[in-house]
Amino acid sequence: MDPLTLFKSVYSTLLLIFSLVTVLALIGYEQTNLSANVHPALAYVLFIGAISWLTMVEGGQASLVGLQPINTELYKDSHPKAYKSTIISTKGDNLDRYLLGRQFMVVLIVFTVNISAAPKADAEIWGFPDWIIDIFYGFGAAMILITCMIGQLNSQVNASLCMLDYIDNYFALFTLWVANAIEFSGLLHASYFVQIIVCQLAGSPVVSNEPPRSAGANIFFWGRILFSLVALSFCVAVTMVALFTDRTTVWEGLPPIVALLIFMLLVCIVGMLEGMQIAFFAVAKLKASERGDSFFAMKTCELLYFGDGNNLPGFMVGRQLCVVSCMFFVARVTSVSIRDDQENIFGAPEWLQGFYNTGLLGALMLTILGSISWQLVASAFPLAFLANPVTYILLRWCLFLEATGICQGAWVLAAIHKKIANFQRDEVYIGTAEEREKQAMGDDSDKLALGAGHLVKLPNFADNAPQPLQKLVKQDKAVQNFLNEIAQKVGNKTDDV
């Protein structure tokens, strides 16, 4: 390992340990809102449970998407629980349904972390100076680092290479069921309305792997869209009233109009980052001459595909950090908090006001308005995202965040997790793409729906891994072939890693 990577790994891991220890201590000392108002035990359960579940939500996505084109019979006996999950996800449009539901789960989990571990305004611990308290707890850096490195990047690193082992458990199957149940509930069906509009504007029909819906199924489908639009409108109304009547957990003394502008700005940033992820992978399949001729489109592509192409996975790491940061801020701006001298919003009874206070309304708003809708637009109009100057600015910022190495500890954690769990690379069980082809069990790339109206995104973190892993890819042709098999779906080869 080169000295710079070693330094980044050490300081990032130490920051992670510091953040985790102090956040757990804050909860124990009743210095967070939930531990102070209810009980530290509940805050511990929610915090640890949320981070643990996030590892499966993020790792499960990488595994289920990556396994989509692979013949399930290859691992039916060796990984029976993974087989149960992929039998569900590979049927019809179930992968799209899962991706829709898990998007809400990610936002909801981040909001839960904020509820359980967000420190009180006057929190203090172990005599730390104000600037440390402001950065790590007031700004939320400690919770952001914990969420990114433990809950997201760590799991994505392992799941991108060890997909079968990662989801060969009932926890992964349960997470899949929950994501599908969320989609079935109709809460997010407003996203389908956006999908239909976007596909019509793009001149592309909504591509489905299922036969046309019956009349009854159509009524049920549009009924859930109407329900979702009403629920979304209600969430917006409650949040706006809370913002303009000083009934949120936003910083004290902040004028309502400023809080609203911050909220709108953060939603747009999250949306841009979510859309950029899909747009970058979409244009990776295009020739340079097809990527647009606008100034910022050319600048963005020049930066994105510079050198060996490591800036694309580098962006993915920085983007993760930036998105989670924005989510924590949105959670703070939109979470409702009623003082003793204030009336409940819209005269709601106590049980309903308690539901408002959970932050679920803000989570639903952010999922639809700040995440899924932007991804759908980017899937249909990737070149428009490239031509946007904000895209170039955010790309620069994400690459800067990644270059600091602040999340490098995720690879250290992933290596430890892999060792303890005894994860093996998938080709150990199912062979390389070429070997599967020789056995007449080749992959079916048509199963993976890409393009307008689809949320599929393939994190390729292995390209940005520490030097030992990059050397392994160079030395082991099987590893390189396997990564290329995934990368080919988006045109991003690892031959030069």
Q: Is the dihedral of CA 200, 203, 207, 213 positive or negative?
A: positive
Closest CA to 147 of 76, 267, 57, 273: 57
Domain map (residue ranges) of the chain: 3-487
Q: Which residues pair with 119 in a beta bridge?
A: 32
Q: Fill in the amino acid letter for 320.
A: Q
Q: Is the dihedral of CA 488, 490, 493, 494 positive or negative?
A: negative
**Helical segments of 29-168, H only:** 33-37, 40-67, 80-89, 94-117, 130-133, 141-146, 154-159, 163-166
Residues 162, 68: Cα–Cα separation, whole Å? 14
Distance between alpha carbon 265 and the CA centroid of its chain, in Å? 19
User: What pLDDT score does 337 carry?
Assistant: 72
Count Cα neighbours of 217 within 13 Å in the Cβ-side half-sphere: 6
Tens digit of pLDDT at every position of the chain (497 positions)? 678 778 888 889 999 999 999 999 999 888 887 888 888 999 999 999 999 999 999 888 888 888 887 888 888 888 999 999 999 988 888 888 888 898 899 888 888 888 888 887 777 888 888 888 888 887 788 888 999 889 888 888 888 888 899 999 999 999 999 999 999 999 999 988 888 888 888 777 777 777 888 999 999 999 999 999 999 999 888 888 888 877 777 766 677 788 788 888 888 898 888 888 777 766 665 556 656 677 777 787 777 766 655 677 778 788 888 888 888 888 777 777 777 677 888 777 888 887 777 778 888 888 888 888 888 888 777 777 778 888 889 988 988 988 888 888 888 888 888 889 898 888 888 877 677 777 666 555 555 555 555 555 554 444 444 444 444 444 444 545 544 544 444 444 444 43
User: What pLDDT score does 489 carry?
Assistant: 42
Q: Which residues pair with 32 in a beta bridge?
A: 119
Cβ-based burial of 419 (10 A; exposed 0-12, middle 13-18, buried ≥19): exposed
**Contact (Cβ atoms closer than 8 angstroms) between residue 391 and residue 300:** yes
**Contact (Cβ atoms closer than 8 angstroms) between residue 315 and residue 399:** yes
User: What pLDDT score does 415 carry?
Assistant: 87
Cβ-based burial of 203 (10 A; exposed 0-12, middle 13-18, buried ≥19): exposed
Residue with tokens 């996203």: 191
Closest CA to 176 of 59, 72, 79: 59
For 264-299, letters b (16+ CB in 10 Å) and e give eebbebbbbbbbbbbbbbbbbeeeeeebbeeebbbb
User: What pLDDT score does 468 carry?
Assistant: 40
Q: Is the pTM of this model over 0.85?
A: no
User: What pLDDT score does 184 carry?
Assistant: 93
Residues 207, 199: Cα–Cα separation, whole Å? 9
Residues 358, 363: Cα–Cα separation, whole Å? 10
Helix or strand (DSSP H, E) at 304: helix 295-304
- Distances, alpha carbon 49 to alpha carbons 147, 386, 449, in Å: 12, 38, 32
Q: What is the DSSP letter of 74?
A: G
Helix (H, G, I), strand (E, B) or coil at 450: coil
252: left (phi over 0), alpha (psi -120 to 50) or beta: beta
